[in-house]
Structure formats: C-alpha cells, structure tokens
Amino acid sequence: MMEALMLARWQFALTSIYHWLFVPVTLGMTVVVAVMEIAYVSTNNEVYKKMAKFWGKLFLINFAMGVVTGIVQEFHFGMNWAEYSRFMGDIFGAPLALEALTAFFLESTFMGAWIFGWDKLSAKAHAVVAVLVAIGTNLSAFWILVASSFMQHPVGYVIRNGRAEMQDFSMILSNGYVPGQYSHIFFDGLMTAGVIIASISAWHILRNNALDFYKRSIKWGLVFTIIGGILVAGAGHLHGQYVTKVQPMKIASVEGLWDTTKGAPFSLFATIDEKNQVTHSAIEIPGLLSFVATDDFNGEMKGMKDLQKADEQKYGPGDYVPHVTSMYWSFRAMVFSGSLVLLVAIIAFAMNRAGKLEQSRGMLNLVFWMLPFPYIANATGWYVAEMGRQPWIVYGLQKTADGVSSTVTAGEVWTTIIGFSAVYVLAAIAAIYLVVKHIKKGPEGNPSHDVGEEAALWK
C-alpha cells in the first residue's frame, strides 16, 4: 500500500507541476491581451491590434495545453484517490461544477468569438469579447481555488457518516484562505505574462526585427512584470500572515524553525538537520520572520517541536512535520526567482525610459534570460503550498495516506505514470514547436530571420 501511495503522490505531483506551467500564463495573458485591445479601441493604433493578435495566439497555444493537462488531473480523483473523492466529493465537487457552468462555458464560448471574430465584429465588440474571456478564465481559477482553499483550511462543513458534507456554502465561499491564495496567483499570472512578453520582445530587438512592434511590447511586458511582481509580493506577505494563524507548521517549516522563538530570525542560507531537529543558519536577519508573520519584530513564532506535540494531542500519534529541507529551499527558490525578475524588470524599465535599453545588448540578453525564472517561482511556490500541509490531504480532516484508492496497485500506477508521461512529452514537443514557430514568424506572420543571421547575432 505504501508503494502505491508514494507512486500516486508522485504521479499527481508530476501532472500538477506540468499543468501549473500553463495556468499563470493563461490567467495573466488574458488580462494583458484584453488591455491591449482596449488600447487599440481607445487610440485606433494598429500596433496595439497586432500586439493583441500576436500575444493572443501565444495565449491560445498555452490555454490548449492547460485544458488538456487539467483534464488529466481530474482522472486522478477516481483512479488513484477514490477514498479522497468519497470523503470530499460533496464539497470538492460543488465549486468544480460551478467552474464548468459559470466560467469554462463563458471563456470557451467567447474565446471562439475572439478567434473568429476579428473580421466579423467591430473593434469595440471584439474588445468586449476579450474582456469576457479574461473574466471567464480568472473566474475559472477562482472556483478551483475555492476548492483548494477548503483542503488547506476547512470551513462550513459537518462530518456525517464518515464523510465531509457541506453545511454552509457561504462560509466555504468566504473562506479566509481564498483571498490570499487567489490574489497571489492572479498577480503572479500578470508577472509571468509580463516576463514572457518582455523576454520574447528582447530576443527580437536583439535581431532588429519589427522594432516598432517589439519596442512597444517590451515596454508593456516590463510594466506588467513590475506591477505583478510588486503586488504578488504584497499578496504573498498578507497571505503568509493568514497561513501563520491557520497552518503554523507550514510557516515554521519554510524557515526550519524547530523551537518556539520570540523575535524569530529569517535565514538567507542554512543547513537543515532533520534527524536531530536542528537548523544551522549561516546568514540570518534578526527578527525578520516574526515581523513578516506578525508585524512585530519581537513576535512569538511557534516551533515545529511544540507544534508536533500539539498536533499529537489533537489528532493522535503521527508525524505532522513536512519535509523541512525541501520546504526551506523551495521557499527561497520562489522568493529569489521572483525578486530577481522584479529587479531586472525595474532596471530595464528605467533604461528604456532613458532611451538606453535598445543599445544595451547585455541588458536585453538579461531580460531574455529572465524567461525561466517565473516558472521556477511558480513551481516552487505551489510545492510549498501543497507540501506544507502534509501529512494532510484535507488539513486536519483526512490524511494523505487515507485518501488513496484501496484497490489500486503499484503496477497499475506505474502503468499510468508511464502512459501520462509519454503523452505529456509528445504534447510538450508539439507545444514547443508551435510556440517557437509562432515567435519566429513575428507579428507579420513571416519568418523574421534565417538561421545564419541568428547565429551571427549571437556571436
């Protein structure tokens, strides 16, 4: 059973991380494209229309991949996690049903109108369609995060006949975990979309391709990166304070804080000894963790040892401490990646305002190489959110070990892991091919350069 459990966890982790590569881009790019269309209607500048078309097509490829990988995730609930579905189905199914009824139909219907309506709708009507697509896409994320937030912080339920049943939908909808989680992901989407636009634009500017288009695009990309980066940091800070109240073990684990401490420091680098429950900090900032979590440099932070004892008294014997080393470094990878992107964007934007960015090949290359960092931040951030509540699949109600299907064997899970992985590899190849082909063609739909020119420019 343990082997099947671990394989089921690995499979869901692999498919979730792969799916999560596309979600923030989808959420942010719909908003950016809608704003571009509004700019086109307001100014009648054809460059904005080209921008909406070009970046919108990139969004469509990403959206298609997100839908395919998201559907695969839903299969897991019946295949590998049947006991979880039996326990949580009454609650988890409601927001997912609303996601399909109120959001997916909305975004898919108007997405069709957006794709085929360029020559059939007026500019204003097409802009309205773009706005509705953005609303539908982000509404879809909202309902999914309502379900996810219940798993992180259950409210509005009653346990009846061994199942969690909905008692108050308004409480589930107003769960205090939802605003922080949703705002953090929404602003993260804006930052991710901004980085993609800025990076691709920098790549083309280095090759002197469609300069009017890409010089305007890189400005937009940098602006959205800065706005999203600042707001995602603020949302993450406020959400972290809420998580400190409802999931103190998660916050203690990301700092490797074993003992309850007043004025707890925040370490920049440390080695974690999980066996002896000791953290050796090399560089730390006194009182910063307490201030971030409680707005008080001398605030008390519960350590994992005391939290473990409290959980044992409340829930019974067991190990309630997540994998501390991976939590510690994943959190820092998220913060470092997001901070680096924001710093580069601010410097590049200032240089662009001064008219120096286009002449600085070094900075343009740096903007281009920002591309992987929002993906690193997204993946590690989601890991912290999900791994930090272990051993719970529904915090305080159902342990992960109790949610796995009792009849699924390790061999069956291995078969589906191999099958899904093969399909994902093929899908990734197709997606990368389409994205690269679209990027190289540029806004006019013609190849912007040949291989020889590209090689010469990179020398």
Q: What is the model's pLDDT at position 445?
A: 59
Closest by alpha carbon to 217, among 41, 337, 352? Answer: 352
- Summarize pLDDT for 134-182 with one digit per residue, the tens: 998 889 889 988 988 999 999 989 998 888 888 889 999 899 999 999 9
- Summarize pLDDT for 304-319 with one digit per residue, the tens: 999 999 999 999 999 9
User: Taking the domains of the chain in order of start, what are their residue ranges?
Assistant: 1-246+397-456, 248-320
Report DSSP state, residue 392: E
Residue type for 419, please? G
8 A C-beta contact, residue 341 and residue 190:
no
- Coil, helix or strand at residue 395: coil
Q: Residue 122 burial by CB count (10 A; 0-12/13-18/19+): exposed, middle or buried?
A: exposed
- Summarize pLDDT for 71-113 with one digit per residue, the tens: 777 777 778 888 888 888 888 888 888 888 888 788 888 888 8
Q: Which residue is listed with tokens 């798993």?
A: 151
8 A C-beta contact, residue 123 and residue 40:
yes
Q: Of 153-157, 320-324, 352-356, 435-439, which gets the smallest average pLDDT? A: 435-439
Closest by alpha carbon to 330, among 274, 404, 250? Answer: 250
Closest by alpha carbon to 220, among 200, 249, 244, 245? Answer: 200
Please report, for residues 72, 118, 156, the alpha-carbon distance to residue 377 in angstroms, rounded to integers and kept in the order given: 23, 35, 32
Q: Which residue is listed with tokens 């959001």?
A: 103
Closest by alpha carbon to 325, among 394, 387, 373? Answer: 387
Q: What is the model's pLDDT at position 373?
A: 94
Q: Which of 95-104, 373-382, 435-444 has the highest mean pLDDT?
A: 373-382
